[in-house]
Amino acid sequence: MVVPALHVLQVQLHTTSTWSAWILSVFLLTSAASTPLLSKLGDRFSKRKVLLLVLATYLIGTLGCAAAGSIGVLIGCRALQGVSLAALPLSFGILRDALPQHRLRSGLGLVSGTIGVGAGIGLVVGGLVVDHQSWRWLFAIAAVLILGAMGLVAKYVPDQRSGSNEPVDVPGAVLLALVLVALLLALTKGTSWGWASTGTLALFGVSVVLLAVLVVTERRSVAPLIDPAVVAGRSLLSVHGAAFVFGVVSFVFYVLLPAFAQTAADQRLPGGRTVGYGMGADVTVAGLLLLPGSLALLPTGPLAGLMQRLTSARATLASGFAVMAVGAISLCFWNGNGWQLAAGYLVVGIGSGLVLGGIPSVISDLTEARRTATANGVNTVVRTAGGVVGSQLAAALLAAWHIAGSEIPTRDAFITAFWIAAAVAAAGGLLCWAGIRSSTIPAPRTPEVAVQRHQGTGSPRQ
């Protein structure tokens, strides 16, 4: 919901575009830094309690945003909101604890689908609020939703504990947070600072050095935050790679389609020419074009679980990426009006649902129950990093080709970006097909953990 409001926030809070960009950037940084640790705490203690803590923190940050009177306060509260990303891996871990095996894949797919649906609805609602009400309503609406989520979690989610006595790897958590902050900051600011600038190169260098220190630290830790069991192995590495590719492709479209739709084809250029493409849509209409594709994720998420049962994980994920590539290619040729843009993104959305719904199921198959949230936390962070790369890639392509005498990107800039998105999606499909050997490679579980999956308070099994 915040994305359509960025320009309005810049104007009404009397700030610059550089500072307003931090409204998004700081959310990404804090979410990436906190998600692995919060996921680990959920696996170590209680996923339900950590999820409630995450939602409570998210609520505090959201109320702070609604009351913010300056850009500094808003950015600080947005940083607090960043912990909300941990709700995703914690939810996947809770589903594995609570659902019987025959319902797990469809349950994971359904929850995965709601991610895209929420994003699509959020863009539309954000546009409507920006067009008709104060931007503070964005956060007021979000606060009501968070309160509802907290009530549902408190009432219905079982409180199941792992029973593990492993210590929390604080040094590893700090180092990982620093690595992610340095890397994502470099990726986020590379376009404005310059990719060869001293600041950007320094941040990349710092992230590499800190990563090396993290690897050494984790190898010596008795209970590492980033256990090789949640990142290593051919299949798991391929799944994390697939998440990165998915993030890249998804955010390319989040940037490109609204920009394409909001460009006015009849806008006059120097010399009497017109732009020649686009719809001249407002923020709300541009968001509505993405809505069918976003809503498609809801039914296709559970469909991914069914496909995995009938075929295999690699076939499901490879098919999803192939469908995304087909949607991207269709947009290269058919983009003359709104229904063509919506139809092309609908195809992308169907493929996205298969990928989003399939990834948590594969992770569940490849990891122990006591590491489910942690493994999904790593995957969520990787997908976030892919999203940063995708948004920067799209922005760089649009900035590289302008119509002479204007700041408007050429039509070829969008077409090239669509082709690149198709190629990246196809590469993701090949990665899944070659790298994932099977969707049924269960990691060994201790008897204690196996028993606890059936003994949670309020479990739906009972």
Residues 157-168 have pLDDT tens digits of 988 776 667 777
pLDDT (tens digit per residue) in 325-378: 999 999 999 998 899 999 999 999 999 999 999 999 899 888 887 788 888 998
216 token code pair: 């050494």
Which DSSP state fits 195? T
Q: Rounded to the nearest 5 degrees, what angle is found at the Cα of 297, between the Cα atoms of 293 and 300? A: 120
Q: What is the pTM of this model?
A: 0.84
Kindly report the average pLDDT of the chain as a whole number: 87
Any idea which residue has 């359509």 for tokens?
4
* Percent of the chain topping pLDDT 90: 44
pLDDT at 446: 40
Q: b/e per residue, 391-407, with b = 16+ CB within 10 A?
A: bbbbbebbeebebeeee
Backbone angles phi, psi at 279, to 5 degrees: -115, -15
H-state helical runs in 221-368: 228-231, 234-262, 283-295, 297-310, 313-333, 338-366
Give CA–CA dist 203/378, Å, rounded. 21
CB-count burial class (<10 Å; 0-12, 13-18, 19+) for 24:
middle
- pLDDT at residue 449 in the model: 40
Residue tagged 């319902």 (tokens): 103
Listed in sequence order, the residues at least 6 apart from 357 whose beta carbon sits closer than 8 Å to its beta carbon are 108, 109, 110, 112, 113, 297, 300, 301, 302, 303, 304, 305
Half-sphere exposure of 233 (CA within 13 A, CB side): 20
Residue 358 — left, alpha, or beta (φ > 0 → left; ψ -120 to 50 → alpha)?
alpha
Per-residue confidence (pLDDT) for residue 442, from 0 to 100: 42
Task: Specify the pLDDT at position 61.
Answer: 97
pLDDT of 230? 66
* Tokens found for residue 280: 């001249």
Residue numbers of the chain with a pLDDT score lower than 50? 439-462
CB 351 within 8 A of CB 326: yes
